[in-house]
Each structure stands twice: as C-alpha cells, then as structure tokens.
Amino acid sequence: MEEIVYEKGFTACGLPDEIKKKIDGVSYHENRDVGLDELAYLKMQYVDFNGQTQTGEMIVHQSLAREVLEIFSELYRAGYQIEKMRLVDEYDADDERSMADNNSSAFNYRVVADTDMISMHGYGRAIDINPLINPYIVGEKIMPANGAEYADRSKKFAHKIDHDDLCYKLFKERGWTWGGDWKTQKDYQHFYKT
C-alpha cells in the first residue's frame, strides 16, 4: 500500500520488514483469512493518563487505515486519554496480559475467547480501547480478571466508554459497532467494522 500521512504524527503504511519479523509466529500465523499484505502498520500520537503525548503503534486491515488515523487524530486533538498503545506482540500476543496492562490494540490472529471462531481482531477489523477499564463480560466471567472493579457500569469513573464518550461517538459515526451494545454479553473496550 502507499504510505498515508494523515497529518504530522499519524501515518500508515504496509507492514515494514522488521514488523513482519516481529509479528510472525506471534500475533500472525499463516492462514487463509488474512495475509500480511492486507494489513497496515499505523503510528499515531495519543495522550497518556499523565497528560503526556506519546507515539503508539497499531496494526489494522488496510481498508480501515485512513479511518482509524482520522479517529485517533480527533481523539488526540480532544485530549482523550489512552494509557498505552502497543502491538499485542509486546505481550507475546496474549490477549489477557495485554488487556490486564490496559493496552489498546487491534490486530491479533486469534479466536474469540472460549470459541473456535476467528475474532474480528484476526482480520485487523477490531480495536480495543483502555481494556482494563472497559472489560469484556460474559455471564460471571470478566476479562481481564483485574478489571472486575469496572464491571459495574452504573458507577462513575475516569476513562469509562459509554454512549456519551467521545471514542464511542467517533467510531459509531463511521459505522463501527460497539461491543457495549451487545445483548447477551458486553465488550466495553471493543469496536469493530465488518
């Protein structure tokens, strides 16, 4: 793909060789669903929980690259806080470890927890934001486990994603679906576009 420079600090390109090496056998495995040439490597600025500007990285499907740059550029300009934005490979592609560290991430070729269905993350079509504070809840199970204190969504706390949240609004207006709107389970960190 041709490099996209959305604005200073917000770029997307095909996966550089060092990133291909880094993710091979970790978050990426040979498969029939998505090829390395279909993925884009994004570098984006964000405001961390201390109010400092950081540069994060993310891998998404190429067809979503420009849209994701737009969303995160708007979040950055609004001062929206994201604790971390690292590739899931920094956690050996272990989703629970990445979530427990409140890492916002996207691509990870894996199945949906407790199923054999490929996750939308496996196609680079899903993004999890501040996942510790916005956990995935199925019945009595809360993921990450250390996110239990944030399971009660009637409480007020910082960085909570709900219908009034800027992150929710920016994804929603571009046609993304939010896991917090699911009926039988809730995935408050999770935005995806099929």
Residue 112 in this model has a pLDDT that exceeds 90: no
pLDDT at 66: 98
Confidence category of residue 113, pLDDT binned at 50, 70, 90 = confident
Query: What digits encode the pLDDT tens for the residues 18-40?
Result: 999 999 999 999 999 999 999 99
The DSSP call for residue 81 is B
Residue 116 in this model has a pLDDT that exceeds 90: no
Other residues' Cβ atoms within 10 Å of the Cβ of residue 55: 11
Instruction: Identify the domain containing residue 96 by its residue range.
Output: 4-192
* Torsion sign over Cα 11, 53, 135, 161: negative
Angstrom distance (rounded) from CA 95 to CA 145: 12
How many CA atoms does the CB half-sphere of 77 hold within 13 Å?
Answer: 11
Share of the chain above pLDDT 70, in %: 100
Query: What digits encode the pLDDT tens for the residues 37-75?
Result: 999 999 999 999 999 999 999 999 999 999 999 999 999
Q: Judge contact between 126 and 191, C-beta under 8 A.
A: yes
Query: What digits encode the pLDDT tens for the residues 87-109?
Result: 999 999 999 999 999 999 999 99
Mean pLDDT of 157-181: 98
Other residues' Cβ atoms within 10 Å of the Cβ of residue 129: 26
Domain count of the fold of the chain: 1
With a CB cutoff of 8 Å and minimum separation 6, the contacts of 72 are: 10, 42, 44, 45, 46
